[in-house]
């Protein structure tokens, strides 16, 4: 593989002082596609630095790779993070960097998977979602007896992404960070549910999810059904066990690369 050049902390949103890291190699040319990698963390934690490994991998495969930070809850509630990724996408598309500006895709895990999916719905681009969070309002409404509680056992600032929340379902924590995204406002949570934004112009999505993990598979099933009804191609891969997001990266990377190869011409 060729050496990866990393340009850190490029400002893409001056209003909110939001920055992105750029990964490229000598193999990236004006005809190369771009991929946006969106970090996870329940919309309330995480940082672009945790995606350095995937950033280098995708750059080595010839993609101009963009890894941004975005605003986090509870300081900035929905739709701040979604707005930031839309700003980032527009910034990338209109930038002067050398790549094929008509070929952009997104990938993310957990909350990043949700935001990658939102870009697919908004701009019609291909997206990959690992443990993406898609069942928001409906799940919370159907689990009134679950008491929302933060996870105080793990510090995401010192754990690698693949080590976070690997004990299977954790309904109390799931409900906590979903509600934290909207400060408990159920009307806003309903608006945050991405399924309502599915159209025939949505981009294809490759979903991956463990069968017994932090993020319930119901979100994938609902999103896939809505996209299929709209005539949009999807792939869903369900993985045995309880690993969350990047913890199963090695198991889905080949399929992810194949998806990008087929959907980015």
- List per-residue pLDDT tens for the chain, 265 residues long: 679 999 999 999 999 999 999 999 999 999 999 999 999 999 999 999 999 999 999 999 999 999 999 999 999 999 999 999 999 999 999 999 999 999 999 999 999 999 999 999 999 999 999 999 999 999 999 999 999 998 766 555 445 555 565 678 889 999 999 999 999 999 999 999 999 999 999 999 999 999 999 999 999 999 999 999 999 999 999 999 999 999 999 999 999 999 999 999 7
CATH code at position 246: 3.40.50.1820
What is the domain count for the chain? 1
Assess contact for 182 and 214: CB atoms under 8 A.
Answer: no
CA separation, residue 47 to residues 39, 41, 154, 264 (Å): 6, 8, 16, 27
Candidates 75, 70, 72; CA nearest to 89 is 70
Q: Is the whole-model pTM more than 0.75?
A: yes
* CB contact burial 10-41 (16+ within 10 A = b; e otherwise): eebbeebebebbbbbbeebeeebbbbbbbbbb
Candidates 36, 155, 126; CA nearest to 85 is 36
Q: Reduced to 3 states, what is the DSSP secondary structure of residue 94?
A: coil
What is the domain range of residue 142?
Answer: 5-263
Other Cβ atoms closer than 10 A to 96: 5
Query: Residue 85 is encoded by which pair of tokens?
Result: 């990724």
Give the Cα separation of 43 and 178 in Å (integer): 8
């Amino acid at each position: 593989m060729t050496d990866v050049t990393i340009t850190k902390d490029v400002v893409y949103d001056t209003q909110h002082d939001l920055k992105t890291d750029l990964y490229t190699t000598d193999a990236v040319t004006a005809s190369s596609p771009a991929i946006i990698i969106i970090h996870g963390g329940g919309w309330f934690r995480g940082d672009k630095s945790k995606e350095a490994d995937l950033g280098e991998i995708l750059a080595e495969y010839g993609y101009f790779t963009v890894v941004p930070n975005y605003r986090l809850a509870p300081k900035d509630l929905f739709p701040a993070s979604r707005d930031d990724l839309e700003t980032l996408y527009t910034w990338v598309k209109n930038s002067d960097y050398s790549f094929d500006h008509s070929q952009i895709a997104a990938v993310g895990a957990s909350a990043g998977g949700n935001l990658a999916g939102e870009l697919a719905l908004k701009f019609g681009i291909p997206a990959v979602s690992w443990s993406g969070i898609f069942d928001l309002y409906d799940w919370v409404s159907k689990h009134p007896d679950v008491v929302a509680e933060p996870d105080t056992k793990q510090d995401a600032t010192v754990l690698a992404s693949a080590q976070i929340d690997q004990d299977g379902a954790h309904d109390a924590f799931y409900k906590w960070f979903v509600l934290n995204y909207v400060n408990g406002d159920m009307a806003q949570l309903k608006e945050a549910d991405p399924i309502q934004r599915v159209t025939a112009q949505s981009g294809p999505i490759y979903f991956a999810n463990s069968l017994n993990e932090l993020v319930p598979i119901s979100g994938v099933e609902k999103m896939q059904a809505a996209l299929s009804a709209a005539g949009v191609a999807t792939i869903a891969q369900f993985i045995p066990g309880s690993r969350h997001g990047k913890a199963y990266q090695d198991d889905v990377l080949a399929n992810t690369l194949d998806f990008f190869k087929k959907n980015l011409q």
